[in-house]
Structure 1
Amino acid sequence: MDGLGGTLERAAADGDVVDGWLQGLAGNQVLPVEVLDRLLEFDELPTANSWLKYRALDAAATELLVASPQIQRRLDVTENATADVDVLARLARDPEPRVRFAYAVMLFEYKRRIPAGVLEILAQDPEPKIRRIVGESEKPPVAVQEPPPGLMAEQRVTHPDPAVRMKAAADPEVPTVLALRLAEDPENDVRLAVSMREELTEEQRTAIPCTVWQHFWSPPPWIARQATDPEAARRIARSAHVGLRRVLAAQPHLTPGVVALLAADEDEWVRRTLAESCEDAPHELLVELYATVQDRYWSGYRNHRNFARPGLARFADDPNPRLRHAALDDPEAGPELVLRLADDPEVGGWAVRDPRLPADELLRRLTLPAHAAAAAGNPALPVAVMHHLLDLARAR
């Protein structure tokens, strides 16, 4: 630490470096509670105001924030999904109405376990809007009834309300011969509902003109039932009706043969639905979509259980920066790969945060303005160094 201390003291003369330390520590997911406590002494940090919402919090860290004199920090902890629910319960008696309201909202938004006595406290809160939240949560769900009730099947398929006709089109209790009258309905969603009935032949389905949307508001339940039967699932996977294939791809588990068919499907949304919803989606498909999808969901494929596996290091020199980033997920890759990518202009920050980065290199990069934040966010950073960084930041 002696030589390093002098190096860090010299680096602390650069305000950008110090700001990087504070920003990196705020995002470090293994920050000990005593370091978090010191970090909270800074009234403002050079990072997003919401940093406390997204970091991991154990009971001790939750305690720090619940007891904070700063209202914003107590508000932030109500939105942290990892916060300890028993410690959070103290916020039901918080002196600030905004905090009690936020706590009550997130209690039900996150479907948190509700400690004993909390609902009774909130139900007697002096703020009417807080009492209403509790009152609404205790109301039994209202049964949704199809308008108007008591219609016969023939009346439903000829009803002027397209919502009634659409439900009739999908209802297996409506005879097929009646439902098929809706194959020429003026409303696309009605025709689509008919085309996805379980008993129809492929010829009958393809004869119904309809547009299939990317997502379904109410997928036909029969597809989920048949998905557990390998032969039936294969028939659906080979159907010419892309809607059936998309709904099948959304099932949580499918046999390898069915997965292979859907992963090779010509329809992008069949493949994407498989990758986003099915736990059995193949590694190759996940990597392909991670590398090529252009909307905001592209990074989610990396979180799939089948994405990270030995072999990803082969992408370390790929021209696609997403794949070079993925190379860091290879559990068999050593510090040499991490060190090589640390100077990559597009993925270097991720490499510097990687705990496999050699210790001497991690400490050196704390002194570089471009890498100070990433280095301070590395979970392998020694706790003594964290404290030293805070000493220097406090002294500036």
Structure 2
Amino acid sequence: MGDVGGTWDPGECSDECAQEWLAGLRANPALPNSALARLLTVEESPGPASSEWLKWRTLDAEAARMVVASPQIGHRLRAVEKPELDVDVLSCLAHDAEPRVRFVYAVLAGDFGRRIPEGVLEILAGDDQARVRRAATDHRGLPLTVRARLARDENASVRAGALTPEVWPLLDADLREALCADPDPAVREAVDRLLAPEPEPAPRIAPELRVTDPDPYVRRAAAGDPHVPTALALRLADDPDDGVRLALSLREDLAEEQRTAVAYVVPDGYHTPPRWVEERGHEPEVARRAAASGHVLLRRSIAMRHRLPADVVELLAEDEDFFVKLTLCEHCQDAPHELVVEMYAHWHGLKAGFLRHHPNFARPGLARYADHPNPRLRHAALDDPDGGPDLVLRLADDPAVSAWAVQDPRLPAGELLRRLALRDSARSAAANPALPPAVMHRLLDLAGVAAGPAR
């Protein structure tokens, strides 16, 4: 677009249009750090979705440092939720002026498998906010000397959180006695857990008693227990409890005739796969048996495997049950392209990102869907790498998919600038990664955002 950034002017810029530009720029994957620095000065509306854009934005080291130093509390809070950020960059949040930021950092500092920098837990354990100190006690890396100090804390929740089997022997006798008689029940309960004797193992109940137990939950457990003999378990085939009959029907040791004879009811919603399918579903013969079963939950269960033999995939891809096919597409890397597209076309729970990340999603040729009556398939047409600017331009006028088409970097430059000035497309145009940095900064100028360092 040449030097258009310094001269382009959309005409009158309404507050509404300016907000659309800002929202689009926040979503723009090509946003330079110079523009990010300016966006970080913009105060956002409070609420659960505030600064959500930062949660999904990839930040390099420079950008990460800018976010944790942002004047906006919401930005700093979002930084803590990003597992990929450098732990040493994040560690400065232990000193943050805002108690909410220090608390969230204290809770999440070790999440996502992150290393906690040396000395950070000690800082959090000395915080003037009790909930920050309490959060510090949840980290196993907290030094025992610090934990012992917190066992004397003025706040009861901190005292309770500080108590672990490792620290208890280090406390002096007077403190242990005081904690045993602590006026707060949470502290006394923590002490009781430490001092409680190991529970004795529960006595084994004979299988014959389990299958006749009046508690349906006991019978359910027996029905699915492979240690209960098959013949004994089959006595539950006419059990009055639906859960008992369902558990029985999913046993590995049943022949298909026996399984069919059980009057089980398939419940709505998600069902945890049987343990034998989870543990041995990678074995080809186990996979083939489950895929060929008349029990739809066994077929749905095996469809959850990451990889499956070709003949099993072929069988499941033709299954009469919609959710078997959907589960295969969602979980199995071997699901065929045709089925992936079919499920995407008919199930709104599958987002466009699902298509793009599926290894068997073949993009070339998708342009043939540009005129398809299903808007989801017209959207998929944009993923055809051989589709040129004409395809994108055509779909930019399609109300159902224009938001994505206008964000497509293949959109002609002049059309992209024109769309920036239209209220209905301003956000999508500002999110287009082909937008030159100079134009991005011009949008920020027009929106009244303070200028950053010289660019």
Using structure 1 for the length normalisation, give the TM-score: 0.88
Counterpart position of 1:52: 54
- Aligned Cα RMSD in Å? 3.0
- 1:303 CA drift (Å): 4.5
- 1:35 CA drift (Å): 0.7
Counterpart position of 1:103: 105
The runs of 5 or more residues in structure 1 that have no matched partner are none
How far, CA to CA, are the matches of 1:216 and 1:385 in structure 2?
A: 48
Residues 148 and 169 of structure 1: is their aligned pair in 2 closer, same or farther, counting only changes over 3 Å? farther
- 1:109 CA drift (Å): 5.7
Residue by residue over 1:69-94, the C-alpha shift from the partner in whole angstroms, topping out at 9 and shown as x without a partner, is 22222223223455443312221232
How far, CA to CA, are the matches of 2:269 and 2:200 in structure 1?
A: 23
- 1:14 CA drift (Å): 4.0
Residue by residue over 1:345-381, the C-alpha shift from the partner in whole angstroms, topping out at 9 and shown as x without a partner, is 1111111111122233323322222222211111111
Q: Do 2:10 and 2:420's aligned partners in 1 also have CA atoms closer than 8 Å?
A: no
Q: Do 1:170 and 1:194's aligned partners in 2 also have CA atoms closer than 8 Å?
A: yes
How far, CA to CA, are the matches of 2:30 and 2:382 in structure 1?
A: 19
Which amino acid is 1:43 matched to? E
Residue by residue over 1:4-53, the C-alpha shift from the partner in whole angstroms, topping out at 9 and shown as x without a partner, is 654x3242444443333222111112211111111222334899623333
Quick check: 1:330 aligned with 2:384? yes
Moved more, 220-229 or 68-77: 220-229
- 1:284 CA drift (Å): 1.4
* 1:368 aligned to which of 422, 433, 438: 422
Q: Do 1:289 and 1:298's aligned partners in 2 also have CA atoms closer than 8 Å?
A: no
- 1:161 CA drift (Å): 2.7
* 2:406 aligned to which of 342, 352, 360: 352
Equivalent pairs, count: 391
- 1:9 partner SS: coil
- 1:146 CA drift (Å): 12
Q: Do 2:352 and 2:380's aligned partners in 1 also have CA atoms closer than 8 Å?
A: no
Identical counterparts, % of pairs: 56
- 1:208 CA drift (Å): 0.7
How far, CA to CA, are the matches of 1:352 and 1:366 in structure 2?
A: 10
Q: Do 2:340 and 2:361's aligned partners in 1 also have CA atoms closer than 8 Å?
A: yes
Structure 1 segment 212-291 matched on structure 2, within 5 A: 212-215=266-269, 217-291=271-345
Counterpart position of 2:453: none
How far, CA to CA, are the matches of 2:72 and 2:46 in structure 1?
A: 17
Moved more, 304-313 or 39-48: 39-48
How far, CA to CA, are the matches of 1:135 and 1:208 in structure 2?
A: 51
Counterpart position of 2:158: none
Q: Do 1:157 and 1:168's aligned partners in 2 also have CA atoms closer than 8 Å?
A: yes
Counterpart position of 1:41: 41
How far, CA to CA, are the matches of 2:116 and 2:265 in structure 1?
A: 45
- 1:297 CA drift (Å): 4.5
How far, CA to CA, are the matches of 2:403 and 2:134 in structure 1?
A: 46
Q: Do 1:24 and 1:376's aligned partners in 2 also have CA atoms closer than 8 Å?
A: yes
Residues 281 and 149 of structure 1: is their aligned pair in 2 closer, same or farther, counting only changes over 3 Å? farther
Which amino acid is 2:23 matched to? Q
How far, CA to CA, are the matches of 2:338 and 2:248 in structure 1?
A: 35
Counterpart position of 1:302: 355
How far, CA to CA, are the matches of 2:315 and 2:18 in structure 1?
A: 53
Residue by residue over 1:123-164, the C-alpha shift from the partner in whole angstroms, topping out at 9 and shown as x without a partner, is 444433334434345489x9xx99954323223222333222
Which amino acid is 2:30 matched to? V
How far, CA to CA, are the matches of 2:449 and 2:108 in structure 1?
A: 38
* 1:65 aligned to which of 64, 67, 70: 67
Counterpart position of 1:25: 25
Residue by residue over 1:78-114, the C-alpha shift from the partner in whole angstroms, topping out at 9 and shown as x without a partner, is 2345544331222123232211222233445645444
Residues 92 and 52 of structure 1: is their aligned pair in 2 closer, same or farther, counting only changes over 3 Å? same
Quick check: 1:204 aligned with 2:258? yes
Residues 99 and 283 of structure 1: is their aligned pair in 2 closer, same or farther, counting only changes over 3 Å? same
- 1:54 CA drift (Å): 2.8
How far, CA to CA, are the matches of 2:24 and 2:425 in structure 1?
A: 10
Residues 92 and 184 of structure 1: is their aligned pair in 2 closer, same or farther, counting only changes over 3 Å? farther
Using structure 2 for the length normalisation, give the TM-score: 0.77
Which amino acid is 1:56 matched to? T
- 1:168 CA drift (Å): 2.0
How far, CA to CA, are the matches of 2:200 and 2:12 in structure 1?
A: 68
- 1:338 CA drift (Å): 1.2
Structure 1 segment 57-96 matched on structure 2, within 5 A: 57-96=59-98
How far, CA to CA, are the matches of 1:186 and 1:132 in structure 2?
A: 48
Structure 1 segment 102-141 matched on structure 2, within 5 A: 102-107=104-109, 110-136=112-138, 138=140
Residues 326 and 168 of structure 1: is their aligned pair in 2 closer, same or farther, counting only changes over 3 Å? same
Residues 339 and 85 of structure 1: is their aligned pair in 2 closer, same or farther, counting only changes over 3 Å? farther
How far, CA to CA, are the matches of 2:202 and 2:235 in structure 1?
A: 20
Which amino acid is 2:100 matched to? R
* 1:343 aligned to which of 375, 378, 397: 397
Which amino acid is 1:70 matched to? Q
